[in-house]
Amino acid sequence: MNMREKERTVLQRYTITELDNGHLYIHLNGRIDIESASNILNTLETKILSTSPKIVTINLDNVSYFDEYGALVLSELRKIVADQKGTLNISDKKNRSKIKASVANFDTPEKTTGIRKSPVNFFVRVGDASLSRMDNMKYFTSFLGSVILSFIDVLKHPKSIRLNDTITCMEKTGVNAIPIVALISFLLGLVMAFMSSLQLKQFGANIYVASLVSIAMVSELGPIMTAIVVAGRSGSAFAAEIGTMKISEEVDALFIMGFNPTTFLAVPRIIASMIVVPILTLFSDLFAIAGGLVIGILTLDLTFNSYIAQTLKTLSLFEVMWGLSKSVVFALIIAWIGCLRGFQTRGGADAVGNSATSAVVTSIFLIILFDSFFAVARSYLW
């Protein structure tokens, strides 16, 4: 309903009289405001362009309300008329000086500061990007340094550790993540067992499905999957929490009150992650093996006992510890990067979002990178 009604009321805002000597007489009336401005401007512009009059007189006697939007319309019309080599007169019986002043405001070519930033040159952008990468690297190292110093500090004064925060963080990062980690791992074990069984069946090597699932999960996929889930759940949360504190000056407040923000905010999160991520990894291993077991029993005619026996035969304590120690490193990466991105946040609400995103992306990248280092180290050392 609205559109048509609006148009009608706007149409009533002006009447145009065309005199034969190239004189256009326009009566405006009613409210000339933001709602009517663009309509009036568009219609009158078309009219003027089609008739190209020598003189245009705009009569404002019946205008009840007039603000900058109206002034803008008049100023634009004056420009259009001038382009057609005509002149525009404004007649106002009430002779409101305010109207003249506000139209003049737009007539003078202003020192424009355009709304949109002008695009910068390619080289400037490349340069900026490189510099910001370098700064980033610097910050990476200096933050790692401050984390290490904080840890030394905490070791010297164990009381300075914020125990309550650490425990809350352990609950949020660890306990609350168990369902999703368990579900993903269970399904992963299931799929892995199923896919490998298709191949191994052909050689009658069904029993090795148990070996495959357990060794792959315990030494590789368990730690990685858990780390990725934790990075997505908690790494982003760390970045967002600390980032919000940063932009609302809470971090500055901590600093002024004599706390070391790293000790106060980062250390509890790092400690909590390093404790709970290995435990989550154990859960992940366990549930993946359970997933494999389901497939083994249902489709491969293995018994519960033989599957478990084969699993135990394959896994050594070293294998399990290897996976767990990897997960400790991954936990350190996740918490370190999450807090780092949080502390790097500057600006407004969107900066917090960017921090959370880049916390997840960076930590997943580093997790994969370090996992490759581990693989290489292992093949050379043992």
Partner 1 sequence: MPNDAIIQINNLSAKYSDDVILDNITFDVYQNEIFVVLGGSGCGKSTLLRHTIGLEVPFAGNVTIDGADLINCSETEFKNTLKKIGVLFQGSALFGSMTVSENVALPIQEYSNLKNDLIDKIVNLKLGLVGLEGYGNHLPSEISGGMKKRAGLARALALNPKILFLDEPSAGLDPITSKEIDELILDINKNLGTTIVIVTHELESIFTVAQRVIMLDKTKKGIIAEGKPADLKKYSTNQTVKDFFNRKSNKK
Identify the H or E element spanning 295: helix 267-299
Angle in degrees, CA 297, 188, 370, rounded to 5: 135
Residues that bind partner 1 (CB under 8 A): 2, 33-35, 37-39, 41-42, 67-69, 72, 76, 98, 105-106, 110-117, 247, 346-351
CA distance 364 to 375: 17
Would you say 175 and 278 are in contact if contact means Cβ atoms under 8 Å apart? no
Q: How far is the CB of 124 from partner 1 (least distance, A)?
A: 16
Under DSSP, the state recorded for 18 is: E
Q: Which two tokens stand for residue 312?
A: 């135990």
Q: Which of these, 320, 309, 349, lies nearest to 222 by C-alpha position? A: 320
Shortest separation between residue 30's beta carbon and partner 1, angstroms: 15
Q: With respect to partner 1, which residue has the nearer C-beta, 73 or 217?
A: 73
Distance, CA of 115 to CA of 161 (rounded, Å): 49
Nearest residue (CB) to partner 1, 76 versus 371:
76
CB closer to partner 1 out of 48 and 267: 48
Tell me which residue of 26, 32, 2 sits closest to 14, measured CA to CA: 26
Nearer to partner 1, 20 or 110 (CB): 110
Contacts of 115 (CB under 8 A, 6+ apart): none
- Report the residue number, 106 or 264, with the smaller CB distance to partner 1: 106
Q: List the structure tokens of 346.
A: 């500057």
- Token readout for 2 is 């609205």
- Shortest CB 44 distance to partner 1, Å: 14
Q: Name the nearest CA neighbour of 227 among 353, 326, 373, 374.
A: 326
Q: What is the rounded CA–CA span in Å between residue 326 and residue 279?
A: 12
261 alpha carbon, distance to own chain's centre: 24
d(CA 266, CA 333): 12
- Residue 60 or 329 with smaller CB distance to partner 1: 60
Nearer of residues 108 and 141 to partner 1, judged by Cβ: 108
Taking alpha carbons only, the member of 251, 255, 250, 223 closest to residue 334 is 223
Burial of 88 (0-12, 13-18, 19+ CB in 10 A): buried
Q: Pseudo-torsion of CA 87, 92, 97, 102, nearest 10°? A: -50
In the complex with partner 1, the residue whose CB is nearer, 190 or 352, is 352
Question: To the nearest whole angstrom, how small is the minimum distance from the Cβ of residue 282 to partner 1?
Answer: 42
d(CA 244, CA 161): 22
Element (H, E) at 65: strand 55-66
